[in-house]
Amino acid sequence: MGYTTTPALVLHRTRYSDRYSIVHLYSREIGYVGTLVPETSSRKNAVREHLRPLAEVEITLSLSPQRDLARIQEVHSLHPRHAVHTDPAKGAQAIFLSEFLYRILSTTQTPDEELYDYISSSLVLWEGLSRGVANFHLCFLLTLLPYFGIAPDLPDDEARGCGYCFSLQEQCYLPHREAYCLSPEETQHLPLFLRMSYYTMHGFAYSRQQRGVILDYLLDYYRLHLHSFPQLKCLPILRQLGQSAERETR
């Protein structure tokens, strides 16, 4: 049995039994890890308060080759996410981001400090955002692509302006629209979208419907190029919340 202390992002909580939950973490030092957390007693409840989805903590884990799940010895909050409770737009995005990160990182067995640091710094920026909030999840998914080695490589040709369609699957321009292709009009706007950053996203004046279309394309792209990435269950909830609690902050 060994002990490891590491920064970690809280991804998801799964009910394991009447007495325990599994809290899924992505840590800087050891990558993805599942931890068994008791549901009862005042001390354990204090621990649970630190382990809300998207929170960043410093955690000491007890690891054993004989156990699939780690045990928490100590936990301290590094970056709680207060804005998700006060900002409806961020609250809706938090539901999406926590499931997205859980699904994509739970298959990542090896630690990746560069990936961890990028996600951590992105969420810290998100917590403090006052404009561009509505586009954050799009920009986050876009800028995360290189860390998984699947950033699109746009062909350097003139087909984009000749009514061609960009194929998400083949990463090339096609003369006719097929499955997983952008429309000719969407293809014309693709190079501009790919230049979006956290510092420019407030200038992309998308409607709620346009953001929904872009999000669907991004998730299709992840599924096409990361075959273990599944459909997300939270999308209907995200869209419903977006209709009732959307806040354009640019």
* CB of 197 closer than 8 Å to CB of 143: yes
Q: Is 36 inside a domain boundary? A: yes
Residue 59 predicted with pLDDT over 90: yes
The per-residue pLDDT of the chain, averaged, comes to 88
Domain stop point among 79, 106, 141: 79
Residue 54 sits in the same domain as residue 95: no
Residue 168 predicted with pLDDT over 50: yes
- Is the dihedral angle over the CA atoms 167, 168, 170, 173 positive or is it negative? positive
166 pLDDT band (50/70/90 cuts)? very high
Task: Note the pLDDT of residue 249.
Answer: 41
Straight-line distance from the first to the last Cα atom of the chain, in angstroms, rounded to the nearest whole number: 50
* Over residues 189-208, mean pLDDT: 95
How many structural domains are present in the chain?
Answer: 2
Q: Is 238 inside a domain boundary? A: yes
88 pLDDT band (50/70/90 cuts)? confident
Euclidean distance between CA atoms 16 and 69, whole angstroms: 11
96 pLDDT band (50/70/90 cuts)? very high
Residue 215 sits in the same domain as residue 131: yes
Q: Is 159 inside a domain boundary? A: no
Domain stop point among 79, 108, 139: 79
Residue 95 sits in the same domain as residue 216: yes
**68: CATH:** 2.40.50.140
Domain stop point among 79, 104, 126: 79
Residue 10 sits in the same domain as residue 118: no
List pLDDT tens digits, range 70-79: 999 999 999 8
Residue 69 sits in the same domain as residue 110: no
Residue 83 predicted with pLDDT over 70: yes
Q: Is 175 inside a domain boundary? A: no
Task: Note the pLDDT of residue 47.
Answer: 77
Task: Note the pLDDT of residue 127.
Answer: 93
Poorest-confidence range of 19-33, 36-50, 84-98, 105-119? 36-50
Residue 198 sits in the same domain as residue 135: yes
* Over residues 170-196, mean pLDDT: 93
For the chain, percent of residues with pLDDT exceeding 90: 60
Residue 97 sits in the same domain as residue 43: no
161 pLDDT band (50/70/90 cuts)? low
Residue 110 sits in the same domain as residue 36: no
Q: Is 179 inside a domain boundary? A: no
* Over residues 26-52, mean pLDDT: 81
Residue 222 sits in the same domain as residue 118: yes
* Over residues 158-176, mean pLDDT: 84
Q: Is 181 inside a domain boundary? A: no
One-letter identity of residue 249: T
Residue 137 sits in the same domain as residue 111: yes
Q: 88-91 contacts: CB < 8 A, separation 24 or more?
A: 88/241, 88/245, 88/246, 88/247, 89/133, 89/134, 89/245, 89/246, 89/247, 89/249, 90/126, 90/127, 90/129, 90/133, 91/241, 91/245
Residue 70 sits in the same domain as residue 101: no
Residue 221 predicted with pLDDT over 80: yes
* Over residues 45-63, mean pLDDT: 87
Q: Supply the range of the domain harboring residue 224.
A: 88-152+194-245
Task: Note the pLDDT of residue 65.
Answer: 80
Q: pTM for the complete prediction? A: 0.90
List pLDDT tens digits, range 224-249: 999 889 999 888 877 766 554 454 44
* Over residues 19-42, mean pLDDT: 88
Residue 44 predicted with pLDDT over 60: no
Q: Is 163 inside a domain boundary? A: no
Residue 147 sits in the same domain as residue 211: yes
